[in-house]
Structure 1
Amino acid sequence: MIDHVRDLASVRDATDRLLTAAAKLNNDSTAEPSRLPGWSRGHVLAHLARNADALVNVLAGRPMYPSAETRDADIARDAPRALAEQLEDVRQSAAGFEAQAALPADWSRTITLRNGVTDSASRVPFRRWVEVELHHVDLGIGYELEDLPADFVRREITFLASRFSGNPDVPATRVTDGTHAWSTGRDGEPEITVSGPAPDLVGWLAGRRDGSALTAEGGLLPALPPL
């Protein structure tokens, strides 16, 4: 069962870790490339702030973004800002998300995200946690997939495996870290078993690693569609 209160506390902790680490940057290093193609570290920080605002909209019953073009334009606008302004924006937008989440609400209700995707409101805090943790890694400032909390990694593998479940372009696949196992891809008995350390599995599923550290039995490592 999803515990949105616990997830909100995890979001707060993850945000504090990110802000502490990013505070060691400077204006020049913020303008340097992140690990996301075409994005500087400033783009990543700007996206984190605007994503918090967007999830406030979701919880309040408004459209997540006015449009895809507006989302992209806001990130591009905010990316070149000085580090101090970036950090304050991340901090204030995170506080806004936390304040919205503290309002009395039916957490079992269905909410609408980008591109018409729907989900339970109770999963929104976890979705925000994903944003903060993975984009902390994307900043390329010493926080790696191996540093992610173990419970987060297991839940994110579960979430991503479910996201690709039933996809006709992904062969029926068993994913395992040797302790836990997940099924993904098109329906049917698993054709391929992908195994390896949990951080490498989440990196492959999330498009952060190429899967070269993983082992595929029964066929080639599946090529995953973009998230």
Structure 2
Amino acid sequence: MTDHVHDLASVRTASERLLTAVAALDNAAVAEPSRLPGWTRGHILAHLARNADALVNVLDGRPMYASAEARDADIERDAPRPLDAQLADFGKSAARFQDAAAVPADWSRTVELRNGVVDSASQVPFRRWAEVELHHVDLGIGYELEDVPMEFTAREIDFLTERFRGHPGVPTTRIGDGEGRAWTTGGGAEGGPVAVEGPAADLLGWLAGRRDGAALRAEGGSLPALPPL
């Protein structure tokens, strides 16, 4: 069972870790390209701030974003800001999310996210945790998937393998990290089963579209191509 209180504490810790790391940058570094194609580090920081506000909307029963176009426009608007503005916005938006999540509520209720996706409200803190951890890596400032808490890595692999379960483009795929943890995903495409094994960080990188899977071993077929998130 999801412990949203635990996850909120983890979001706070991850956010503080990111803020500390970003505070060591300068304005020029914020304007440099991130690891995400077409986005600077400023784009990532702007996205994280607006995502926090969007998840407040979700918890309050409002649409996550006014529209896809508005979401993108807000990120483009905020991306060029200097470091101090980025830090202040991220910190304030993170606090707004924590405050909204601290209000007594029915955490078993269903909420609506982007593109008609629905989930339990109890999963919203973990979704925010994923945003902060993965985008911290995307900044390319020394925080790697190997540095992400192992609890998060295992749970995000759980989440992503479930997301790709039955996907028509992914054959049955059995995944193992060599440490006793195993998952099954895919099953909607012909072929397989394919057995994929490697370090947990590399498995997460492959599933999350952050690594090409070159460090993974595949048996019973080639490494499956995964759809974008």
The TM-score, its normalising length taken from structure 2, stands at 0.98
What's 2:141 paired with?
Answer: 141
What's 2:50 paired with?
Answer: 50
What's 1:195 paired with?
Answer: 197
1:82 aligns with 2:82: yes
Q: How far apart are 1:104 and its partner, in Å?
A: 1.0
One-letter code aligned to 1:67: S
Gapped regions of structure 2 (runs ≥ 5)? none
One-letter code aligned to 2:67: S
Cα displacement string for residues 116-138 of structure 1 (whole angstroms, at most 9, x for unaligned residues): 00000000000000000000000
Cα displacement string for residues 81-113 of structure 1 (whole angstroms, at most 9, x for unaligned residues): 010000110000000000000111000000000
What's 1:13 paired with?
Answer: 13
What's 2:183 paired with?
Answer: 182
The counterpart of 1:224, out of the listed 199, 218, 226, is 226
Identity of aligned residues (%): 71
One-letter code aligned to 1:184: T
Cα displacement string for residues 119-174 of structure 1 (whole angstroms, at most 9, x for unaligned residues): 00000000000000000000000000000001100000000000000101100100
1:215 aligns with 2:203: no
Provide the C-alpha distance between the structure 2 equivalents of 1:37 and 1:11, rounded to a whole number of angstroms. Answer: 25
- 2:170/2:188 contact within 8 Å kept: no
- 2:109/2:121 contact within 8 Å kept: yes
Provide the C-alpha distance between the structure 2 equivalents of 1:74 and 1:206, rounded to a whole number of angstroms. Answer: 24
Query: How many correspondences in the alignment?
Result: 227
- 2:161/2:185 contact within 8 Å kept: yes
Q: How does 1:93-132 map to 2 (within 5 A)?
A: 93-132=93-132
Provide the C-alpha distance between the structure 1 equivalents of 2:13 and 2:2, rounded to a whole number of angstroms. Answer: 18
One-letter code aligned to 1:212: A
Gapped regions of structure 1 (runs ≥ 5)? none
- 2:173/2:185 contact within 8 Å kept: yes
- 1:58/1:112 contact within 8 Å kept: yes
Q: How far apart are 1:33 and its partner, in Å?
A: 0.1
The TM-score, its normalising length taken from structure 1, stands at 0.98
One-letter code aligned to 1:21: A
SS in 2 for 1:13: helix
Q: Point out the more displaced range, 168-177 or 187-196.
A: 187-196
1:63 aligns with 2:59: no
- 1:172/1:190 contact within 8 Å kept: yes
SS in 2 for 1:89: helix
One-letter code aligned to 2:195: T
SS in 1 for 2:183: strand
Provide the C-alpha distance between the structure 2 equivalents of 1:172 and 1:187, rounded to a whole number of angstroms. Answer: 7
Please provide the CA RMSD for this pair: 1.1
Provide the C-alpha distance between the structure 2 equivalents of 1:124 and 1:172, rounded to a whole number of angstroms. Answer: 28
SS in 2 for 1:32: coil
Q: How far apart are 1:190 and its partner, in Å?
A: 5.4
SS in 1 for 2:137: helix
Q: How far apart are 1:186 and its partner, in Å?
A: 1.7
- 2:11/2:129 contact within 8 Å kept: yes
Provide the C-alpha distance between the structure 1 equivalents of 2:226 and 2:136, rounded to a whole number of angstroms. Answer: 22
- 1:174/1:190 contact within 8 Å kept: no
After TM superposition, the runs of 4+ consecutive aligned structure 1 residues lying more than 4 A away are: 187-190
SS in 2 for 1:210: coil
